[in-house]
Copies of this chain bind each other. A is one copy, B any other.
Amino acid sequence: MRGRTPRFLRRISAVHHLTPEQRRALMGVCGRLCELAPQRDILVEGEDNAHGYVLEEGWACRYRMLNDGRRQILDFLLPGDIICGNDSQVWPAGHSVATLTSCHLYLLPLAGLPELCRRFPALQEVSDWMTQCELAIVQERIVDIGRRNAPERVAHLLLELMYRLRPVGLCTGRSYELPLTQEMMADALGLSIVHVNRTLRRLNTLGLIRYLPGQVEILDEAELMRLAEFDAGYLHQSEGAAQSGDAA
């Protein structure tokens, strides 16, 4: 049964009440579900993008490349997230978006959205909320990279991912699948691969997490939150909804 409701509706519903009519309207603007291999660009920096996507399954990221090959991942995109080329149509995208794993996504033509939001002011609110979530996440990342050391950064990322995966049913208790290579984490956290490795290893040894490539379990959530000064508030999830998970 579960899995029938698209993940993005699940994610929205955890925070915003949607009438059946609004759900239908949202589903209506989505194109058909398509599949993409890992490591494929979805949106490319500098191009104009007439449509976005809804990520139903798999992980993706926003990223920027520097000339000499350095990469910075701006944000991870998880199932249920909506991917707009940041800039509704007018401005060329300032960054690229790529799949990290194989993904299922709905095409989302942006043309109809403004009209839809005008017809359903509640959807304008939802849209604003999503934008604010995104903004809050990148702001938190700035604090991470700018002022937290490696263990704090890694801890913060692992907690953020847990809290974001919960509402879409991808976190069982305190463990979840983490389909990121250490290189991807490094590119998101502004660290080197080697240092991410050492840091994960250390958090393992300290008994705060159990990390195995592809899988994490948060062993000592309280201590990890203290270490990272993590406060889930910035994710803008409602209190109750944050608890719902597959296993809950």
- Enumerate chain A interface residues (CB-CB to B < 8 A): 46, 62, 64, 66-67, 70-72, 74, 86-88, 90-92, 94-95, 114, 117-118, 121, 124-125, 128-129, 131-132, 134-136, 138-143, 145-148, 187, 189-190, 229, 233-234, 236
Shortest Cβ-Cβ A-B pairs, 10 listed: A146-B190, A94-B234, A72-B147, A72-B146, A70-B147, A72-B143, A145-B145, A145-B146, A74-B139, A64-B143
With A72-B147, A121-B118: A142-B140 Cβ-Cβ less than 8 Å: no
* A to B CB contacts below 8 Å, 21 in the list: A62-B139, A64-B143, A66-B229, A70-B147, A72-B143, A74-B142, A86-B135, A87-B132, A87-B236, A88-B128, A91-B132, A94-B233, A114-B124, A114-B125, A118-B118, A118-B121, A131-B135, A135-B135, A138-B138, A138-B139, A146-B187
Cα–Cα distance between A189 and B190 once the two chains are bound (Å): 13
Copies of chain A in the complex: 2
Closest B residue, CB atoms, query A128? B88
- Closest chain B CB from A183 CB (angstroms): 13
Instruction: Compute how far the CA of A90 lies from the CA of B233 in the bound complex, rounded to whole angstroms.
Output: 12
Cβ contact of A143, chosen from B66, B128, B143, cutoff 8 A: B66
List chain B residues, Cβ under 8 A from A129: 90
Q: How far is A190 from B148 in the complex, measured between Cα atoms in Å?
A: 9
- Decide if B114 touches A121 in the complex (CB within 8 Å): yes
Which residues of B sit under 8 angstroms from A118, Cβ to Cβ? 118, 121
A191 to chain B, nearest CB (A): 9
- Contact between chains at B142 and A141 (CB < 8 Å): yes
Q: How far is the CB of A20 from chain B (nearest CB, A)?
A: 23
Q: Complex Cα distance A136/B88, Å?
A: 13
Given known pairs A94-B140, A145-B145, the reply for A132 and B234 (CB within 8 Å) is no
Q: Which of A124, A139, A233 has most B Cβ within 10 Å? A: A139
Q: Which residues of B have CB within 8 Å of A87?
A: 132, 136, 236
- Are the CB atoms of B94 and A136 closer together than 8 Å? yes
Closest residue of chain B to A95 (Cβ to Cβ) is B139
User: Who on chain B is nearest to A62 by CB?
Assistant: B139
A92 to chain B, nearest CB (A): 7
B residues within 8 A CB of A95?
139
Cα A118 to Cα B187 with chains together (Å): 40
Whole-angstrom distance between the Cβ of A234 and the nearest chain B Cβ: 4
